Chains A and B, each alone.
Chain A
Amino acid sequence: MTNVLVCIKRVPDTLGEVLLTADEQAVDARFVGCTVSAHENCAVELAVRVASADGGTATVLSLRSDA
């Protein structure tokens, strides 16, 4: 039984124009919100496949500040 932990990060949705914050050090996601990136979706899918192959579990973990 394989239990898989997938660590993902919330990233700005890039369906709209990509805006930078005032200090130009980060992406400003105010207008587009955050989402799971396509690559990390792949990671989740892989984890599910691996875990379900032998009755294990896949757990997704994401961390963020309160702000």
Chain B
Amino acid sequence: MVSTPAGARVVVIGAGIVGNSLVHHLARLGWRDIVQIDKGPLPNPGGSTGHASNFIFPVDHSRELADLTLDSMRQYKELGVFTESGGYEVARTEERMEELRRRMSSARAWGIETELVTPDHVVARIPFLDKDRILGAFWTPSVGVVDSLRAGTLMRESAMALGALTVVSTVEVLGMDVEQGRIRRVCTTGGDIEAEIVVIACGVWSPKLAGMAGAAIPLTPAVHQMISVGPIPQLTERPGEISFPIVRDMDTFCYERQHGADMEVGSYAHRPILHDPQDIPSIEQARLSPTELPFTASDFDPQLEQALELMPDALGAEGAEIHYAINGLLSLTPDGAPMLGETPEVKGLWSAAAVWIKEGPGVGRAVAEWMTHGHSEIDVHHSDIARFYPHQRTRAHVRSRTNESFNKTYGIVHPSEQWAHERGKRLAPMHAAEREAGAVFFETAGWERPMWYASNELLLGEYGDAVMPREHEWDSRWWSPIINAEHLAMRERAGVVDLSAFAIFDVVGPAAAQAVQGTVVAQADVAEGRVIYTPVLDAKGGFRSDLTVMRLAHDRYRVVTGGLHGMADMKWFVDHLPAGAQVVDQTSAFTTIGLWGPKARDILGRLTDDDISHTGFPFLTCRGIELGSIGVLASRISYVGELGWELYVPMEQGARVWDLLHEAGRSDGVVPVGIGVYGTTGRLEKGYRAFGFELDGERTIVEAGTARPKVKNADFVGREPYLAQRAAEPAAVLCTLTVDDHTSAGGGRRYMLGGEPILTRDGDVLIDGHGHHPYVTSAGSAPSLGKHLLMAYLPPDQAVVGNALAVSYMEELYPVTVRANDATPLFDPANERIRG
């Protein structure tokens, strides 16, 4: 037996698919002195990998997850452990058929070959399926199964062959030592290991391990029930592990997957059964393995009946019985995304957890690249463990959200669907006033943000058809024409917007200027009182963020960024601080209120004696002003393209300022305006890009069309690749398009919501210089233009103003036209309104 080394550069805890993939890629990228430990025996130490059903359906509505899956499939194939079987997602209802049409959009957008097929197509390949039960199916020929344990062994062996890896099994972690905020040591039953970096890749055990170091990996072990039924005569007729396509019975949340003579039936339909990591049995205590808990048949009975309906002759075959049945544990997270990256609590302590078999090798590669270069080829920011706010790391939050999401695993989830549980956790100071105004709250990062206000319903009569009503239920779900009415009222008069969800942090200290200058693209060596809007790049020149920075003093900058990604942005700044600078989180100290519209100056002028004229308070400047006895920091910027300010107000005075603005604006008809305008309609009309939609680590400033004439001389992260990008032709160009005709084949008008593929007018596929297919990054109404706008990265030769293309929505083509191939706004292109 291998003894535990006393030290290592990196310790990887866990020998499931993630840990094994990770050590392989670390070794491949040149890392040496890697120690991998697991408390179980190899090759199956008893975690979730060991009982996985091991099949892969590549299509997901999330680009990030789809790309990780495609990369994983490529790796499994290289290892020779992939068997292609094809797979059907079958629909029993018309509602599901519509969802399958939407899945076709995602498949086309991510470049995955799929087809909507008839029940006959299914029974031609699976004769024992009752075709009368289904209306149709989504056929993915590239679906297959993998041997994830064999893959893991091969990956460990490749790392060992490079002399990079020592593997020690049956060694359990007892504790972790952290010194001055850095991980120092892993204490195990085999002795202590000094380490520079520790990666927790322990799946369902990860929270327990992280807790030993004072960090949080907010996931929960949850039961996924699976049984194996056999022998089934129809399956024994053909050789090998799998020769029939896998079936996902989407409406019953079940799957049927051949495994030799047996059929595995798994379910996501049973009641959510959550466990605690510390209550998972030891290897000795478990009858099978720690993550294969006793099957609770009563939870599964309804699913078994439904499976029998679909495949009565096979599952009900004479002599077939249940060979194996488990309550298998897997990891669920509060937002469904994996937990990747360095923990914000402990330097050098990384997480690579909450990953499915289908993403394992892709995640292994991405995390290894991230550890090596500070970024990965596939953008994984949705999975960045730094994304969470404190309340999201609590056990109660994790359990509540996973409890709600478990049955949505195969569900039909609208892109704007809101959570029902764990609401009301972060309330803006003006929350009571917003409720009184009938705010319809959507959640971002725990904050309750008004999306629109029922009190503005009266505006619908005022603006008539200009609010662009939507007739189709799906298009108008989680939406209201009031958003567009608020938009028009803001453009005509003025609107007040609650922006409390912003993440705000200060960079302070004698080296503050150096810290900001070295982190952001824009010139940060500016006068006090200047506001800069700037991209933040990673070292390969991809977007890490885009945000605004105010210089408040010679030694103080205030960074304002989106709530959703704000904590990851803050960690990025912290990670790049020089000596003499610090980051101070101010998110909970200030609320932000936006006041915009042609009447904004009149309204604010009634509350302050300060000079807020255009010359006295120019665009892109900030300074403190007095609203009576309340001091606020006012910043003259706009994300909606109107004259106005963001007002940063101490939390406890936010409600008062909110009321003051409404009182002062009453005679001008000021209205509260929701995030529907701020985040979508106002922004799209102005061509403003949003991180997570248009901007991510795989996009460049040049492609996004936001390059400035000059690049500052000072060094900053990503400068060299950015200069190279500027010198080269872009591989894709971000464009704004209008939908020319919304009429569907059925006669109704349809409105795209985002994620749809852009094709030629004839429906032919387009490919950009990255080999990617164009898709809609953002979609929304432009009420001031009377158009529905789409943004998409197009191949450069297609990015021509006036070019006629098409968007595919629910398997129908709609004509679209390119209206801008750079950041030029379609509304007020000269930006005259911002100047007021």
B317 lies within 8 A of chain A by Cβ: no
Residues of A close to B293: CB separation below 8 A: 30-31, 33
A17 lies within 8 A of chain B by Cβ: yes
B282 lies within 8 A of chain A by Cβ: yes
Residues of A close to B611: CB separation below 8 A: none
| Contact, CB under 8 Å: A31 / B286 | yes
| Contact, CB under 8 Å: A17 / B284 | yes
B211 lies within 8 A of chain A by Cβ: no
Closest-CB distance, A12 to chain B (whole angstroms): 9
Taken residue by residue from 1 to 21, chain A's Cβ proximity to chain B (1 for < 8 Å, 0 otherwise) reads as 000000000000101110100
A32 touching B294 in the complex, CB below 8 Å, given contacts A13-B287, A16-B287: yes
Q: Which of B281, B284, B286, B294 has the most CB of A within 10 A?
A: B294
B180 lies within 8 A of chain A by Cβ: no
Taken residue by residue from 289 to 318, chain B's Cβ proximity to chain A (1 for < 8 Å, 0 otherwise) reads as 000011100000000000000000000000
Give the distance in Å from the alpha carbon of A30 to the alpha carbon of B282 in the complex: 12
A29 lies within 8 A of chain B by Cβ: yes
| Contact, CB under 8 Å: A32 / B286 | yes
From 258 to 300 in chain B, residues with beta carbon under 8 angstroms from any chain A beta carbon are 281-282, 284-287, 293-295
From 1 to 55 in chain A, residues with beta carbon under 8 angstroms from any chain B beta carbon are 13, 15-17, 19, 29-34
Task: Kindly report which residue of chain A lies nearest to residue B290, judged by CB atoms.
Answer: A31
Residues of B close to A30: CB separation below 8 A: 281, 293-294
Q: Which of A29, A30, A33, A34 has the most CB of B within 10 A?
A: A33
| Contact, CB under 8 Å: A19 / B287 | no
User: How many chain B residues touch A (Cβ–Cβ < 8 Å)?
Assistant: 9
| Contact, CB under 8 Å: A33 / B294 | yes
Give the distance in Å from the alpha carbon of A31 to the alpha carbon of B289 in the complex: 9
Closest-CB distance, A63 to chain B (whole angstroms): 16
Residues of B close to A16: CB separation below 8 A: 281, 284-287
Residues of A close to B285: CB separation below 8 A: 16-17, 19, 31-32
From 484 to 513 in chain B, residues with beta carbon under 8 angstroms from any chain A beta carbon are none
Closest-CB distance, B227 to chain A (whole angstroms): 14
| Contact, CB under 8 Å: A33 / B295 | yes
Give the distance in Å from the alpha carbon of A16 to the alpha carbon of B292 in the complex: 12
Residues of A close to B284: CB separation below 8 A: 16-17
Task: Kindly report which residue of chain B lies nearest to residue A31, judged by CB atoms.
Answer: B281
From 342 to 378 in chain B, residues with beta carbon under 8 angstroms from any chain A beta carbon are none
Closest-CB distance, B296 to chain A (whole angstroms): 8
Task: Kindly report which residue of chain B lies nearest to residue A32, judged by CB atoms.
Answer: B287
Closest-CB distance, A58 to chain B (whole angstroms): 19
Q: Which of A13, A17, A34 contacts B282 (CB 8 A)?
A: A17
Closest-CB distance, A28 to chain B (whole angstroms): 9
Closest-CB distance, B273 to chain A (whole angstroms): 12
Give the distance in Å from the alpha carbon of A41 to the alpha carbon of B507 in the complex: 72
| Contact, CB under 8 Å: A29 / B294 | yes
Closest-CB distance, A17 to chain B (whole angstroms): 4
Task: Kindly report which residue of chain B lies nearest to residue A29, judged by CB atoms.
Answer: B294
Give the distance in Å from the alpha carbon of A13 to the alpha carbon of B281 in the complex: 14
Closest-CB distance, B276 to chain A (whole angstroms): 12
Q: Which of A29, A31, A33 has the most CB of B within 10 A?
A: A31
Give the distance in Å from the alpha carbon of A19 to the alpha carbon of B294 in the complex: 15
Closest-CB distance, B271 to chain A (whole angstroms): 15
Residues of A close to B281: CB separation below 8 A: 16, 30-31
Task: Kindly report which residue of chain B lies nearest to residue A34, judged by CB atoms.
Answer: B294
Task: Kindly report which residue of chain B lies nearest to residue A19, judged by CB atoms.
Answer: B285
Residues of A close to B295: CB separation below 8 A: 33
Task: Kindly report which residue of chain A lies nearest to residue B295, judged by CB atoms.
Answer: A33
Residues of A close to B287: CB separation below 8 A: 13, 15-16, 31-33
Residues of B close to A34: CB separation below 8 A: 294
Residues of A close to B286: CB separation below 8 A: 16, 31-32
Give the distance in Å from the alpha carbon of A12 to the alpha carbon of B196 in the complex: 45
Residues of B close to A33: CB separation below 8 A: 287, 293-295
Give the distance in Å from the alpha carbon of A5 to the alpha carbon of B286 in the complex: 33
Closest-CB distance, A20 to chain B (whole angstroms): 12
Residues of B close to A17: CB separation below 8 A: 282, 284-285
Give the distance in Å from the alpha carbon of A14 to the alpha carbon of B295 in the complex: 15
Task: Kindly report which residue of chain B lies nearest to residue A13, judged by CB atoms.
Answer: B287
Give the distance in Å from the alpha carbon of A34 to the alpha carbon of B294 in the complex: 8
Closest-CB distance, B495 to chain A (whole angstroms): 56
Residues of B close to A31: CB separation below 8 A: 281, 285-287, 293-294
Give the distance in Å from the alpha carbon of A28 to the alpha carbon of B286 in the complex: 12
Give the distance in Å from the alpha carbon of A17 to the alpha carbon of B287 in the complex: 8
Task: Kindly report which residue of chain B lies nearest to residue A33, judged by CB atoms.
Answer: B294
Give the distance in Å from the alpha carbon of A21 to the alpha carbon of B287 in the complex: 17
Closest-CB distance, B323 to chain A (whole angstroms): 15
Q: Which 9 A-B pairs have the closest CB atoms?
A: A33-B294, A31-B281, A32-B287, A17-B284, A16-B287, A15-B287, A17-B285, A31-B285, A16-B286
Q: List 8 A-B contacts (CB under 8 A).
A: A16-B281, A16-B285, A16-B287, A31-B281, A31-B285, A31-B287, A32-B287, A33-B287
| Chain A residues packing against B (C-beta within 8 Å) | 13, 15-17, 19, 29-34
| 20 additional A-B residue pairs with CB within 8 Å, beyond A32-B285, A33-B287, A33-B293 | A13-B287, A13-B294, A15-B287, A16-B284, A16-B285, A16-B286, A16-B287, A17-B282, A17-B284, A19-B285, A30-B293, A31-B281, A31-B285, A31-B286, A31-B287, A31-B294, A32-B286, A32-B287, A33-B294, A34-B294
